[in-house]
Structure 1
């Protein structure tokens, strides 16, 4: 995994965290317009980042579309990524 791939994966993880947290918050504060905007912006960014990652490196999960042959197994597995080197 090169630096560009690692940076993109880390940004996807960060944006995914924002989506998870705002979803939980909005469950109890559905009328918070600012939080909803933050959630929607993060969701849009996640979609863009995921498409960018998959176009360059292949599927992120086994639920994503794959080129032939099955490419999900090509990338490093999450436990194989050494985040301390980046």
Structure 2
């Protein structure tokens, strides 16, 4: 028997991917602060930055706004109050 799709599980899985990529970006930022000439780390940082942006865009298309301060657009009507908030997942 095939299980029905679980949109909540999809939301959690996508958020977990976003958190993993963003964690790696923070770590690479700290590393690059002390190793600014490491071209391989810079390349990895840039690849992960694109991946983070794409994952967040995908999340927003499926589940609503994620980034504040102009990083995300609102639907109509204003949907920033819709839950759950990303930190509530």
TM-score higher than 0.5: yes
Q: Distance in 1 between matches of 2:15 and 2:59?
A: 8
- Tell me if structure 1 keeps the 8 A contact 2:66–2:86: no
**Segments of 4+ in structure 1 off by > 2 A?**
77-81
Q: Report what 2:37 is aligned to.
A: 31
* Greater mean alpha carbon deviation, residues 57-66 or residues 11-20: 57-66
Q: Distance in 2 between matches of 1:18 and 1:67?
A: 30
Deviation at 1:5, TM superposition (A): 0.7
Question: What TM-score, normalized to structure 2?
Answer: 0.81
Q: 2:13 matched to 1:7? A: yes
- Tell me if structure 2 keeps the 8 A contact 1:61–1:72: no
Q: Of 50, 62, 78, which aligns to 1:70?
A: 78
Question: What TM-score, normalized to structure 1?
Answer: 0.83
Q: Distance in 2 between matches of 1:38 and 1:79?
A: 26
Q: Report the RMSD for the aligned CA atoms in angstroms.
A: 1.5
Whose radius of gyration is greater, 1 or 2?
Answer: 2
Gaps of 5+ in 1: 82-86
Q: Report what 1:22 is aligned to.
A: 28
